[in-house]
Structure 1
Amino acid sequence: MIAGTPGVLLVLDGWGHAEPGEANAIAAAATPWLDHLLETCPTVLADASGTAVGLLPGTVGNSEIGHMVIGAGRPVPYDSVLVQEEISSGRLGSNEALTPVLARLAATGRSLHLIGLCSDGMIHADVHHLQELLRVAARFSVPAVHIHAVTDGRDVANGTAAAFLGLVESYAAEAGLGGVATVVGRGYALDKSGDLRLTEQAALAVMYGKGEAVTEVQEALELNQRGDEWMPPSVVTDAAGRPVGVVEEGDAVLFTNFRSDRIQQLADHLHEHLAPRGVTFLSLAQYDTRASIPPLVHRSDAGGGLAARLAAHGVRSVRIAEAEKFEHVTYYLNGRDPSPVPVEEHVKISGEAAPDYKVRPEMNIDKVAEAVNAAARRDDVPLVVANLANIDVVGHTGHYEATRQATEHTDRAVESICRAARAAGRWVLLVGDHGNAEKMLIAADGGTPRPYGGHTTHPVPAVLVPADGQEVRRPAGPATLADIAPSVLSLLGIDPAPRMTGRPLW
């Protein structure tokens, strides 16, 4: 079936590398197996951020771009880069999807509604994009712009919402147009678990002004006791107690996240309820929504990578992950192609899990490991691909102790998988997709450290655990995530795809 040796590609989500220190939950964890592998196996640190993976210089990596580049075998210009190019070039002011809508709003006296995450985490959105959107709307004399702000607390440190909302208000003042109409935490507005009750609460604030009534944004911040991620829906009202910015017939909605996955549930919900009322919908970048929402910027092609190469050679693979990262080992690893692939099997792991991952940092990692081990024992599956989500998902809570425990659970799962792979005559290639848990503190105002649950620009380890008797060379030179797919193919005895710019490391 293959000329090389079967194997396991194991993505340790959020597994970044940094020197030990008080902020490094990975280094603080008891990880005898990972320590052993790093000391004894061919290892290299791979760049997983910035231009190496298709992001703007100095931008932290993320799971979406990480898995896309791992699968593509080349840097893929990310949606945030394409949006920034549209802004920097001045093309946004003449964008063929945006300008007719703004002209209609100006002619009819209707309003523009901007909905998205307000932070500079650069994972799902960049608050600075609002500045140009407001400027363009002002140039078209749009009568009113209502900003429906989603507070973060995951991609950036908790407690920073006030600063970002202040920045939004300064952009509105600079443009002479716009204001915050609603505020809600991303736990509601960007739910990815399928809990429509959370989405409904965020949507009701936008559509009907239902939520905690406040007269200004600062009042909403003062009332919130649950942190930025779980800011309850708040609605800004005028002196008479009326919501200042509900969506009306003939208005337009523009979603300002450049990443699709977490906003699409809200986007579909709002489109279903408001499009029949004559509301126009746009998105800053291309979304994977059920509804057809025209984007201002279309995405880059990420195809022609690992999945296409395996399919061309008839090589079967099994993709395994918990629900939080399942799309990453399927859709994103396959170049954002949702088409069924006959030589792929998909195993989504689900189970009892508390919404607060601080309570269960182990998540469902034992079930993931069991599924990987079962697939590794099969003779008809040359490649098993899996994601261990714990380090990243728990790391996003900003809770140091829970993240340390998540790392220890990951270590035990890796040991189980490596032992099963060795018994089955397989190699295991471990790689992080971006940094996270190696930096759990960040300096706040005055230099005081505060908990941090966001991603980092640190490199990630890439470790090859050879099969028994398998001879491999030591990797040389700098590496990036673009080298992972060529390495996997080389280990399987398959030449890299023509579009891959990465190189086999082993």
Structure 2
Amino acid sequence: MSAGTPGILLVLDGWGHAAAGEANALTAAATPYLDGLLATCPTVLADASGTAVGLLPGTVGNSEIGHMVIGAGRPIPYDSVLVQEEISSGRMRSNEALTEVLKGLAASGGALHLIGLCSDGMIHANVQHLQELLRIAAQFAVPRVRVHAITDGRDVADHTAAAYLGLVDTFFAEAGIGEVATVVGRGYALDKSGNLELTEKVSLAIVDGKGEAISEPQEALELTQRGDEWVPPCVVTSADGRPLGAVQDGDAILFTNFRSDRIQQLADDLHTWLAGRRVTFLSLAQYDTKASIPALVHRSDAGGGLATVLGAQGVRSVRIAEAEKFEHVTYYLNGRDSNVVPVEEHVRITGDRAPDYTVRPAMNIDRVTEAVISAARRDDVPLVVANLANIDVVGHTGHFDATRQAAEHTDRAVEAICGAAQATGRWVLLVGDHGNAEKMLTDATDGDGWPYGGHTTNPVPAVLVPAAGQKAATPAGPATLADIAPSVLALLGLAPEPRMTGRPLW
């Protein structure tokens, strides 16, 4: 292809590839335009999970690592991998920050509060990490450990919280220490929309023991009408009705999620609530919080990617996404760099009301599409980067029909964007960041599976729609998300950054 052609990088969030079947909402959808692109344009399936992107083998991909690798042009050792290495090697037991806090608790009689998602979806957390943290607390003779369990229903199948809470009980028995103090769904605890009303309910349960009173953790699951994700804030009480694990002066809090984006709103809120108390804060991995919270494990450098080259060459780009995915096309695509880049313009699309994705699967895709087309018509913008969030965000509800409709809305948006690209002499590179909507049921050997809204290990399509008059061949050999940044740069007529290990596909 000729060098120096402007283009559009279009991430279809949650756009995975799998054979047609009753669990595949993408193949069930009427998507004639995308079907036509896949049949006629240069297309390759790219690995978007496991070691190909810097995750543990067999681990599902996610939007955070997907966009980081798309931008970096190389696999990035993810925080989950770094934490697991510290645990597997035994180094976590001698972690200076952790051992100092645990020694202090043992001497003062304070409690350790562990707050995090109790599932093994490996997107935000791994409940197995609790096992080692409890062992270490017991090793240092911490007198009390209180677990504030966040139930899932998104990264793993719904209605599995009971099994995970049961697993935590086995960890307590093995370590000889630990009790669940609160139980709450991730819809409350991991909100990142800025809805502090939800977050404050969780903070009140943890800090002051205010919430639905229960005598056993499993009772919390009986109080939800909307699955594991929306278990209301529940407080385990003792026989005399007092909360088992309200935070006291001299206690310590350790957040056990390894991914920052959904826990940080709660972390900052708790830090504010406890500002007048002597409480020590730690996080298992590095968080992007406003408060200064020391991390036990620090993250990998994700810089030196697409944004670095564009900035060095003075190439203007416009980044467009709905609020749910805005950080992904800016902060994460730029290698977790929050600095303002002079050659970037950011367009954040927000809704005018609280979303119910099952009844509004279109989300705000029309406004995203309009913004992409508007940017594509500008001669001073060589690159437009956008995320179409519908397939992933609606897919997370586990609602098959709504996800099918989300795919159909996405198909129409892609058709409009590609039409504008052809009219303005641009190529379009479409790519998924991880799988999701191609598997909407859990595997089942004895009947139908549960509705599933989590991510998958399936590959994702990468499709090049050439500009008018341009030619491109189907890439040879395997591909990964690390190949996307080198491909974009090659299409723009720019050399890759030396740290990129991916190859141009076109």
SS in 2 for 1:284: strand
| Aligned counterpart, 1:502 | 502
Is the contact between residue 213 and residue 235 of structure 1 (CA under 8 Å) also seen in structure 2?
yes
1:92 pairs with 2:86: no
How do residues 88-237 of structure 1 correspond to structure 2 at under 5 angstroms?
88-237=88-237
Partner of 1:428: 428
- Worse-superposed segment, 435-444 or 349-358: 349-358
| Partners of 2:149 and 2:183 within 8 A in 1 | yes
What letter matches 1:362 in structure 2? A
RMSD: 1.0
- 3-state SS in 2 of match to 1:442: coil
Partner residue, 2:266:
266
Write out aligned runs for 1:354-393 (5 A). Answer: 354-393=354-393
Structure 1 equivalent of residue 398 of structure 2:
398
Does residue 44 in structure 1 map to residue 44 in structure 2?
Answer: yes
Structure 1 contact 42–464 (Cα < 8 Å) conserved: yes
Contact 2:431 2:460 in 1 (8 A): yes
**Equivalent pair of 1:353/1:364 in contact (CA under 8 Å):** no
Match of 1:77?
Answer: 77
The answer (yes or no) to whether the contact 1:353–1:363 under 8 Å persists in 2 is no
**Aligned-partner Cα distance in 2 for 1:3–1:407:** 33
3-state SS of the aligned residue for 1:441? coil
Q: Give the secondary structure class of the aligned counterpart of 1:450.
A: coil
Single out whichever of 464-473 and 84-93 deviates more from structure 2: 464-473
Alpha-carbon distance in structure 2 between the residues aligned to 1:353 and 1:379: 34
**What's 1:57 paired with?**
57
1:276 match: 276
Secondary structure of the structure 2 residue equivalent to 1:440? coil
Offset at 1:218?
Answer: 1.9
Q: Which amino acid aligns with 1:292?
A: S
Contact 2:223 2:231 in 1 (8 A): no
Distance 2:382 2:220 in 1: 54
Query: Matches of 2:34 and 2:226 in 1, distance apart?
Result: 35
CA displacement, residues 414-438 of structure 1 (integer Å, 9 cap, x when unaligned) = 0000000110000000000000000
Q: Deviations over 1:103-124 (max 9, x none)?
A: 0000000000000000011110
Aligned partner letter, 1:97: A
Q: Which amino acid aligns with 1:110?
A: G
> Share of identical aligned residues, percent?
79
1:468 and 2:468 aligned: yes
| Aligned equivalents of 1:379, 1:351: Cα separation in 2 | 29
Whether contact under 8 Å (2:329, 2:387) holds in the other structure is yes
**Partner Cα distance (2:291, 2:83) in 1:** 21
Q: Distance in 1 between matches of 2:51 and 2:269?
A: 35
- The aligned amino acid for 1:134 is L
Hey, what's the Cα distance between the residues in 1 that align with 2:141 and 2:203? Answer: 27
- Counterpart contact for 2:3–2:490, Cα < 8 Å: no
What are structure 2's unaligned runs of at least 5 residues? none
> Match of 2:296?
296
Secondary structure at the aligned position of 2:225 is classed as coil
Q: Which range moves more in the overlay, 443-452 or 5-14? A: 443-452
User: What CA distance in whole angstroms lies between the structure 1 residues aligned with 2:448 and 2:81?
Assistant: 32
Structure 1 position 255, deviation (Å): 0.2
**SS of the residue 1:296 aligns to:** strand
TM normalised by structure 2 equals 0.99
| Contact in 2 for aligned 1:149/1:183 (Cα 8 Å) | yes
Once the two structures are superposed, residues 333-374 of structure 1 have per-residue CA deviations (whole angstroms, 9 ceiling, x without a partner) of: 000000000000000001234432001000000000000000
Deviations 1:109-143 (Å, cap 9, x if unpaired)? 00000000000111100000000000000000000
Aligned twin of 1:240: 240
- Secondary structure class of the residue paired with 1:56: coil
Q: Deviations over 1:63-93 (max 9, x none)?
A: 0000000000000000000000000000000
In structure 1, the gaps of 5 or more residues are: none
Asked whether the 8 Å contact 1:158–1:228 carries over to 2, the reply is yes
| Residue 410 (structure 1) aligns with | 410
